Amino acid sequence: MINELINLSDTNRILDLERLSTGAAIKGDFDGSVTGSWVKLGERGEGIVSYNDKQYTTKPLGFVSIPAGTEVELSFANGVYYSKY
């Protein structure tokens, strides 16, 4: 079991190094924009958005106070998740 995990880790590291050497863009968990559900604003001003049973830490665009459960647009660009209402 340990050897399998080490092999998987090594393979992922090689793939990451190849991606970095080619200048390929960082991929998000989805393409384009999706509709997520607002959870809360974090202590450092980060947005927390739920989508497909996963919580994403986002950079909120705009300064509107919205209640938890409100639908928001969730998008990904250049390694950063953004949330917008």
| Predicted confidence pLDDT, tens digits, the chain (85 residues) | 788 888 888 888 887 777 667 766 677 888 889 999 999 999 998 999 999 999 999 999 987 788 999 999 999 887 888 999 8
Task: Report the distance separating Cα 82 and Cα 75, nearest Å.
Answer: 5
Residue 80: predicted pLDDT: 87
CATH number of the domain that residue 63 is part of: 2.40.50
Residue 64: predicted pLDDT: 76
Task: Report the distance separating Cα 4 and Cα 9, nearest Å.
Answer: 9
Per the domain annotation, does 75 fall within a domain? yes
The boundaries of the domain holding residue 56 are 33-84
Query: 54-61 and 47-51: which strand pairing?
Result: antiparallel
Per the domain annotation, does 42 fall within a domain? yes
